[in-house]
Chains A and B, each alone.
Chain A
Amino acid sequence: MSNHEQHETAHRPVQRKEMSRRQFLSYTLGGTTAFMMGGAVLPMVRFAVDPLLVKKEGGDFVKVVEESKITAEPQEFKFKIHQVDGWYESDPELVAWISKGEDNKIFALSPVCKHLGCTIFWNTKGHNEYDCPCHDARYSKDGKNLAVANSPLDEYEVEVKDGFVYLGPIVPNTRS
């Protein structure tokens, strides 16, 4: 039985499980090359995508106007925020359209058209709607998109404290 087996294997070509010298060299060289390229490229990739990974700053609330000035009719108010843009700091002026809703709550809309980003105004065409001059988008008083744009106007977060309206970060519309 065992003789027979030996006889069989003797006829088969030698099959070694080890890898060949050539294969070993190409694996080590390939691995080293990959490691070195990775070492060179990784820092650059991380460098390029850094803006994706930095934490967004939770914007501070800014005092804008006395609560008593807010009416049911939307009015335009300007206020300044502190902005850090890389190595530049500035205090750009922002615009909000603030009004009291049917629920008697004060809310503030961003004037940036949700179609392609032009600046909207209240009631320029006399329909008691927000109108965009660029491609005629229209929005209701609550910011609901009525034509052209496919989402409602963004809102500023609102805080009312000691008789003043404070505005914070821009958030998606909550009213429509």
Chain B
Amino acid sequence: MFKNVYNWIDERLDITPLWRDVADHEVPEHVNPAHHFSAFVYCFGGLTFFITVIQILSGMFLTMYYVPDIINAYASVDFLQHQVAFGQIVRGMHHFGASLVIVMMFLHTLRVFFTGSYKAPREMNWVVGMLIFFIMLGLGFTGYLLPWDNKAYYATKVGVEIAASVPYIGSYIADFLYGGDIVGAQTLTRFFAIHVFFLPGALIAMLAAHFLMIRRQGISGPL
């Protein structure tokens, strides 16, 4: 059945080369944990991506209940966690995943560093990786405000005050992030928009660039 459907489509659109081009590539021995167990360090990049996918999916589902409003945000998070079936789990995935993604990214960066994979011709991928790192930090910072509890409020206040200490342009950065003079209604809507639209969009673009470059250049050689 499935095969027939596939063949029917393939006859018309010739889709086999499309996915073969993505899927068919050698996994060299030195990155395959089945050959050398220590090669598991090469898995951290994939694990980072796996958790990123979980963040994006769980985040999309959280927005089915969450409202970015100073009166209702806390109540909506309380509701989705305690009243909605599996809410504990879906919010838990997003909450703990946010920390785990940083851990995985850090381990992946260590692997790249100690295998010297950032060297020519892969310098641009190191730079893109750093941009991904900062986007992730931005997602963590903006997401942390969303539950609108005391911890969220003060973390944001302190975070923006640190940004405000940048010479010359600090106060403009702070006004832009606050959306006013205080952590308030406009800060919450702003952080929500940045958290669920702007940064994920930028993240996906950077990940695409990251993976395209890896396919072009292949995985770096053994030590």
Contacts and interface: CB of A to CB of B under 8 A. Distances in A.
A51 B158 contact: no
A88 B161 contact: no
Interface stretch (B17-25, B26-34, B37-45, B173-181): B173-181
Interface in A20-54: 48-49, 51-52
A116 B161 contact: yes
B190 to A, nearest CB: 8
Q: Which of A48, A83, A85 has the most CB atoms of chain B within a 10 A radius of its CB?
A: A85
Nearest to A88: B185
A83 B172 CA distance: 21
Given A86-B186, A117-B154, A51 B161 contact: no
Nearest to B189: A86
Nearest to A53: B175
Contacts of A117: 154, 157-158, 161
A51 B180 contact: yes
B70 interface: yes
Given A116-B161, A117-B158, A117-B161, A51 B185 contact: no
Give the size range of A's interface with the partner: 10 to 19
B154 A87 contact: no
Interface string B155-192: 00110010000000000100110111110111001000
Given A49-B176, A52-B172, A85 B158 contact: no
Contacts, number: 36
A56 interface: yes
Interface string B108-134: 000000000000000000000000000
Interface of B: 70-71, 154, 157-158, 161, 172, 175-176, 178-182, 184-186, 189
A83 B184 CA distance: 11
Interface of A: 48-49, 51-52, 56, 83, 85-88, 116-117
Nearest to A87: B185
The 5 closest A-B pairs by CB, nearest first: A85-B184, A86-B185, A86-B186, A51-B179, A52-B175
A49 B184 CA distance: 16
A138 B182 CA distance: 25
A91 B179 CA distance: 20
Nearest to B70: A88
B157 A51 contact: no
A52 B154 CA distance: 22
A144 B157 CA distance: 23
A136 to B, nearest CB: 16
A56 B212 CA distance: 47
Contacts of B71: 88
Contacts of B179: 51, 86
Given A56-B181, A85-B180, A116-B161, A51 B154 contact: no
Given A85-B70, A88-B71, 11 more contacts: A48-B176, A51-B176, A52-B176, A85-B180, A85-B184, A85-B186, A86-B179, A86-B184, A116-B161, A117-B154, A117-B157
Contacts of B176: 48-49, 51-52
A51 B172 CA distance: 10
Contact of B186 (A49, A51, A83): A51
14 contacts: A48-B176, A51-B175, A51-B176, A56-B181, A85-B184, A86-B180, A86-B186, A86-B189, A88-B70, A88-B71, A88-B185, A116-B158, A117-B157, A117-B161
B65 to A, nearest CB: 22
B185 A85 contact: yes
